[in-house]
Each structure stands twice: as C-alpha cells, then as structure tokens.
C-alpha cells in the first residue's frame, strides 16, 4: 500500500524568502505525483505534476518540484514567497497501475509574513 507524508502541518515564511514544502511517498513503484493548492474557502487546483520525463517540473505561480526516486521525494519550492502564496498545499500520489485512486497527504498550511 502506498502512503504520502508531508513534513510540517504549518510553515511560516517571510515575504521574499524561499518556500520549501516537503513530500515523501512510499510505494514499490514510483507513482504519478501531484501538488495541489487550496486557497481559503475554495476547491483545490493543480500547481504541478510529474508523470514521466524530466524530473524537475515547473508549475504555475513560480513553483517547481523535483522528483527524486532514490529519496522517494517530491518537494515543492518557490524562490521568493509572495503574500498571495498563503494557502494550504497538498501533495498527492496516484499509482500507475491503478490511476483512478488518488491519495493525498495531510496538507501544509503556509503563512506568509510581511
């Protein structure tokens, strides 16, 4: 069975500082990997995903993530935080042999301080 772990339920960053959100998965076969963002009182929207090919993936709003198979990780980064990045971020995985199932991590709430 696969699982998804996000380190840190809350992260506080200063405006202009690096944003780093950690995601590790456990799976015998590398799954499809996703980062979704949820702004207050809204549904989720996709930030970026890794399915195949280049392991460094660029997404919307200046975010990127790198798939590291040896570390079973898919950490999300943004070089310079903006106030509008305040939201909850979810890492999610989908097994390649049963792609209808999508499993989410517990989420990381990001607070951006001036």
Partner 1 sequence: EAQVTQNPRYLITVTGKKLTVTCSQNMNHEYMSWYRQDPGLGLRQIYYSMNVEVTDKGDVPEGYKVSRKEKRNFPLILESPSPNQTSLYFCASSLGFAGDTQYFGPGTRLTVL
Site residues (CB under 8 A) for partner 1?
4, 6, 9, 32, 34, 36, 42-46, 49, 51-52, 90, 92, 94, 96, 99-107
Name which of 74, 78, 111, 79 is nearest 91 in CA terms: 74
Q: Which residues make Cβ contacts (< 8 Å) with residue 28, sequence separation at least 6?
A: none
Smallest gap from residue 41 Cβ to partner 1 (A): 8
Smallest gap from residue 94 Cβ to partner 1 (A): 7
Smallest gap from residue 62 Cβ to partner 1 (A): 19
Q: Kindly tell me which of 25 and 90 has the beta carbon lying closer to partner 1.
A: 90
Q: Kindly tell me which of 17 and 109 has the beta carbon lying closer to partner 1.
A: 109
Q: Kindly tell me which of 14 and 45 has the beta carbon lying closer to partner 1.
A: 45
Pairing of strands 64-68, 87-94: unpaired
Name which of 31, 35, 33, 38 is nearest 20 in CA terms: 35
Q: Kindly tell me which of 83 and 97 has the beta carbon lying closer to partner 1.
A: 97
Cα separations in angstroms, 19 against 28, 46, 95, 100, 103? 29, 17, 27, 30, 23
């Amino acid at each position: 069975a696969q699982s998804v772990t996000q380190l840190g339920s809350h992260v506080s960053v200063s405006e202009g500082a690096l944003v780093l959100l950690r995601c590790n998965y456990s799976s015998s076969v590398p799954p499809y990997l996703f980062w979704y963002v949820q702004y207050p009182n809204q549904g989720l929207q996709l930030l970026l995903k890794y399915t195949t090919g280049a392991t460094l993936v660029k997404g919307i709003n200046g975010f990127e993530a790198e798939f590291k198979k040896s570390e079973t990780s898919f950490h999300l980064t943004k070089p310079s935080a903006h106030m509008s990045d305040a939201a909850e971020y979810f890492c999610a995985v989908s097994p390649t042999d049963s792609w209808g199932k999508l499993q989410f991590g517990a989420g990381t709430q990001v607070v951006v301080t001036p």
